[in-house]
Amino acid sequence: MEKSNMQWEKVIRQISFWANLISSWGLFVLMCMGIVSIGLRWAGFPLGGAINLSVYLLVAVIYFSLAYAQSQGQHVAVEFVVSRIRGNFRMLIIIIGLFISLVACAFLVWSGCESAWMSWAIRERMDGAPFYPIYPSKIALGIGLIVLWIQLLADFIKEIRKYKCLGR
C-alpha cells in the first residue's frame, strides 16, 4: 500500500514538473516574441497581433506553473503565523488550509473547464486584426487548474497521513 502511494506521488510530481517545463518554454517563447516584436517595430515593420498572442501564451505560462509551485511549497502562505504554532495543531491548520484550497480550486476547475468547453464549442475568437482563437488559452487554464487540484489533493492526503502517523 505504501509503495503504491509513493508511486502515485511520483507520478503527480512528474506531471507537475512537465507542466512547469512547458511553462518555462512558453516564457522563453514570450521573451523571444517580445524581442522580435520590439526589433521589428523599431525597424518600421510592426508585428501585428504579437501583444494579443503574448497575452494568450501568458495564460498557459502562469497556469501550467501553479502545480509545480505548490509541489515545491512556493505559494504564498501566512508563514509567520503558522511557524509559531507547534505540533498537531499546526498540522491540523495545514490540513484545513489544504482542504479549503481544494474546495476553492475545485470551483475554479469547474468554472474554467466549463468556460473552455463553451469557448471550444463556439470556436470563440478574439476581436481585432488577427482573429486569434480564445479557446486554446481557456483550455490551458483548465488543464493548469486540474493539475493544481491534483497536486493539492496529493498534498492533502500526505498531510493527513502524517497527522495519523503522529497519533493525533
**Average pLDDT of the residues of the chain:** 84
Q: What angle do CA 19, 152, 6 make, to 5 degrees?
A: 80
Between 103 and 85, residue with greater pLDDT: 103
> Cell 470556436 identifies what position?
123
Domain around 13 = 2-165
Q: What is the DSSP letter of 126?
A: -
- pLDDT at residue number 166: 67
What are the cell numbers at 68? 509545480
* Bridge partners, 133 (sequence order): 125
Domain count, the chain: 1
In 3D space, the residue among 161, 158, 159, 168 whose CA is nearest the CA of residue 10 turns out to be 158
- pLDDT at residue number 118: 93
- Report the SS3 class of residue 51: helix
pTM: 0.81
